[in-house]
């Protein structure tokens, strides 16, 4: 590891340990050549890569059920111009299997203190009744046919009064939480693994966390239910961050005429193998400015795969737009489709930024 | 009020009382002709309008600093097809001034119970020191020049250990919270007014809420700081929901040839006075499908003002797109620009939905 650090291969990821980002990081950088360092916020990961204290950063970008991670998008928008050099170098897909983790009722009864009388009686009541609750959410006017959860609890969870997790997890486990934990109080914390840590410190046993199985193991907790996410195939996409100058070195090198020229041309024909992320702002006073910007990509046959809008941070009701498209930017002046489109984009928008090109990974 | 209810003018809004949505509702429907009813979720507002138990619904759609309300977007996406008839009939802009509300330190000392010893000593310590903390956030690598909050607390807030609010409020008050309440634990609750209710029940006085001044008044709390939002001119846009059949009646009537024909033509020339919301899905297997869809709007000279993307809910990594544009749909077969564009859009997308046209309001 020290060798890795000396060689400068430091990967900063959104921690703490056992977070989904940690798992994604291990999937990509899980060998001895990288020194892997947890950071406390997505912001810290961006800052570490920008400052050069890490060569790589790994941050969550988008969940298949819940949409983009707004905090990451806002850091790419970079209203404060703190990360001018950050680009995406790669993407990582990680299947997400949420678990409900905590203490089993019998164990909770054993460890509960005398001062925790209400919890204790609650736990006793649980032990007298069926091991699991019904799993049928009550139909309401709002949800006449509530979605049935995909799994049942492995153990009784009637003693659970508090559930801790990252806000994104609530949206991903709606059916299970509605069916089994509607009355429990939800507490937002900074990560799913932090949630497991908090639950491990609760001696009354009435708290649970929505987190990974790995987090349960690391914190000595029981898995009370496994795979509680609504959608089968739920996965999260992570981005590997680099400094622009480090990546452009590669791009320039690989497009040098005579060395990799033919390869570069081959890549151009294989636009479907690469993706790029671009942000831009338009003059809101000019009608059609957004449509004109998007028309540039169409003109050059670049297939847009997603569009996102965030407040620009500059003035109220001003936006920064993000497009992701198939294809990649090549070395300066290389004349690839993305390069030409970016040049043209620059003439119709107020500002724009190339935020990286990378090889497309499969989604599952 | 009963007369209003008999006449069928029932407005469902996202409650509870004193919520920002309540204030927006009063701004638009604040006379005797409407019976105003709080609902517990945005979902419930959609359901009440769809079911016809309310003639109008008011929901938050977008904040100038924080972006769209994702939950509202997802209800418009309507993956479960529960709200096929919901359209937007009007928009309301409301300036948002967040306050930190709770109990002043002296008062908290007075009301704190003997059993709350740690809180009590904390409060005493506060009284011995300066009335406010510094307001200077510590520069870090992440934020070398942290934004300075726009206001100072009106009273000491050093006794505050817990802050409750709606998740959107954290993003809107970053500078103040970072400068003055970095160590306080943040608790997400369903609304800013619910946060104030919770704080009112905390006899130790160490809790505060980020909410409106009105919520402080209704709950007998002190305003500890006023206008703590980051951006001057922070405002939220709300949508008034109707059933499509109720709105289309109007549109058809006003476009009847010979009666309102000239007026309708005049409106067409005044596209800048109206906005429309449209959602659509594309075939993700078809390259360029998204660009083709957007090109339709450009072709007909329709100015896109925003674009949003949300997971479609149908399959992982499938999206529903939302565009907002200047102009309005008129009666069926009326041949307005928006009508023609929608017909054409239908030929390039997988599905689309007109989600309403309404008169543009000013932003401040």
Q: Do B297 and A291 touch (CB under 8 A)?
A: yes
Is residue A364 included in any domain, yes or no? no
A139 in the same domain as A202 = yes
Position B258 confidence tier, pLDDT thresholds 50, 70, 90: very low
pLDDT at A251 over 60: no
Beta strands in B4-115 (DSSP E): 10-14, 35-39, 56-63, 67-68, 86-95, 99-102
pLDDT for the residue numbered A107? 64
Q: Do A142 and B187 touch (CB under 8 A)?
A: no
Q: What mean pLDDT do residues B220-234 have?
A: 91
A47 in the same domain as A83 = yes
Q: What mean pLDDT do residues A135-159 have?
A: 72
Q: What mean pLDDT do residues A198-206 have?
A: 93
Cross-chain CB nearest to A316 (options B188, B235, B309): B235
A121 in the same domain as A58 = no
- pLDDT top residue among B353 and A306: B353
Percentage of chain A with pLDDT > 70? 79
Percentage of chain A with pLDDT > 90? 48
**Closest approach of A239 to chain B, Cα-based (Å):** 16
Residue B36 maps to which CATH number?
A: 3.40.190.10
Position B124 confidence tier, pLDDT thresholds 50, 70, 90: very low
B238 in the same domain as B91 = yes
B335 in the same domain as B265 = yes
Is residue A363 included in any domain, yes or no? no
pLDDT for the residue numbered A98? 94
Position B206 confidence tier, pLDDT thresholds 50, 70, 90: very high
Mapping DSSP to helix (H, G, I), strand (E, B) and coil, where does residue A10 land? strand
**Closest approach of A259 to chain B, Cα-based (Å):** 31
**Closest approach of B307 to chain A, Cα-based (Å):** 6
pLDDT for the residue numbered A263? 39
Residue A325 maps to which CATH number?
A: 3.30.70.260
Q: What mean pLDDT do residues B121-135 have?
A: 42
A201 in the same domain as A186 = yes
pLDDT at B72 over 50: yes
Position A74 confidence tier, pLDDT thresholds 50, 70, 90: very high
| Structure tokens, B349 | 């997308």
Best mean pLDDT range from A169-178, B95-104, B138-147 = B95-104
Average pLDDT score, chain A: 82
pLDDT for the residue numbered B126? 41
Cross-chain CB nearest to B51 (options A141, A234, A302): A141
| Structure tokens, A14 | 């959104």
Domain count, chain A: 3
B241 in the same domain as B292 = no
- pLDDT top residue among B188 and B10: B10
pLDDT in tens, A1-60: 455 555 578 999 998 888 889 999 999 998 778 999 999 889 999 999 999 999 999 999
pLDDT for the residue numbered B172? 84
Give the end-to-end CA distance of chain B in Å, rounded to a whole number.
30
Residue of B nearest to A294 (CA): B291
A221 in the same domain as A242 = no
Q: How many CA atoms lie within 13 A of B112 on its CB side?
A: 23
pLDDT for the residue numbered A66? 80
Environment class of B268 (CB within 10 Å of its CB; exposed 0-12, middle 13-18, buried 19+): middle
Q: What mean pLDDT do residues B321-341 have?
A: 85
Angstrom distance (rounded) from CA A1 to CA B212: 52
User: A243 is in which domain, residue-wise?
Assistant: 1-95+234-254
A269 in the same domain as A250 = no
A147 in the same domain as A183 = yes
pLDDT for the residue numbered A165? 92
Percentage of chain B with pLDDT > 70? 79
* Pick from A82-96, A318-332, B238-252, B296-310: least confident: B238-252
φ and ψ of B232, to 5 deg: -65, 140
Is residue A26 included in any domain, yes or no? yes
Q: Do B67 and A233 touch (CB under 8 A)?
A: no
Cβ neighbors of B219 (< 8 A, separation 6 or more) are B101, B196, B197, B199, B200
pLDDT in tens, A119-135: 444 444 443 333 344 45
Cross-chain CB nearest to B291 (options A43, A64, A294): A294
pLDDT at A142 over 70: no
Angstrom distance (rounded) from CA A289 to CA A269: 30
B275 in the same domain as B250 = no
A64 in the same domain as A6 = yes
Position A232 confidence tier, pLDDT thresholds 50, 70, 90: confident
Q: What mean pLDDT do residues B184-199 have?
A: 88
Q: What mean pLDDT do residues A217-233 have?
A: 91
pLDDT in tens, A267-281: 454 667 899 999 999
What sign has the CA pseudo-torsion B349, B355, B360, B364?
negative
Cβ neighbors of A193 (< 8 A, separation 6 or more) are A15, A16, A17, A18, A19, A22, A211, A212, A215, A218
């Amino acid at each position: 590891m020290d060798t890795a650090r000396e060689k400068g291969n430091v990967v900063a990821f959104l921690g703490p340990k056992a977070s989904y980002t940690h798992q994604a990081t291990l999937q990509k950088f899980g060998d001895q050549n990288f020194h892997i360092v947890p950071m406390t916020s997505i912001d810290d990961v961006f800052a570490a890569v920008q400052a050069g204290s890490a060569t790589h950063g790994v941050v969550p970008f988008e969940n298949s059920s819940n949409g983009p991670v707004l905090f990451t998008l806002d850091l790419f928008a970079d209203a404060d111009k703190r990360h001018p050099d950050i680009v995406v170098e790669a993407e990582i897909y990680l299947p997400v299997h949420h678990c409900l983790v905590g203490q089993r009722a019998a164990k909770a009864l054993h460890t509960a203190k005398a001062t925790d009388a209400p919890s204790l009686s609650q736990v006793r009541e649980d032990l007298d009744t069926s091991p699991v609750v019904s799993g049928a959410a009550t139909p309401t006017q709002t949800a006449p046919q509530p979605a049935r959860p995909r799994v049942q609890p492995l153990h009784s969870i009637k003693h659970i009064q508090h559930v801790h997790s990252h806000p994104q997890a609530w949206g991903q486990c709606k059916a299970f939480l509605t069916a089994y934990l509607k009355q429990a109080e939800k507490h937002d914390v900074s990560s799913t693994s932090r949630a497991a840590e908090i639950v491990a410190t609760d001696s009354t046993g009435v708290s649970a966390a929505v987190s990974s199985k790995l987090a349960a193991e690391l914190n000595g907790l029981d898995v009370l239910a496994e795979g509680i996410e609504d959608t089968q195939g739920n996965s999260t996409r992570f981005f590997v961050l680099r400094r622009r100058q480090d990546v452009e070195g590669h791009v320039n090198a690989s497009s040098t005429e005579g060395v990799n020229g033919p390869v570069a041309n081959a890549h151009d024909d294989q636009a479907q193998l690469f993706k790029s992320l671009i942000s831009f702002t338009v003059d809101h006073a000019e009608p059609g400015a957004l449509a004109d910007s998007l028309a540039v990509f169409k003109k050059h046959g670049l297939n847009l795969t997603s569009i996102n809008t965030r407040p620009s941070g500059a003035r109220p009701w001003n936006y920064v737009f993000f497009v992701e498209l198939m294809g990649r930017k090549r070395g300066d002046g290389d004349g690839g489709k993305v390069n030409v489109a970016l040049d043209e984009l620059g003439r119709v928008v107020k500002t724009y930024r190339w935020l990286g090109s990378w090889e497309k990974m499969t989604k599952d």
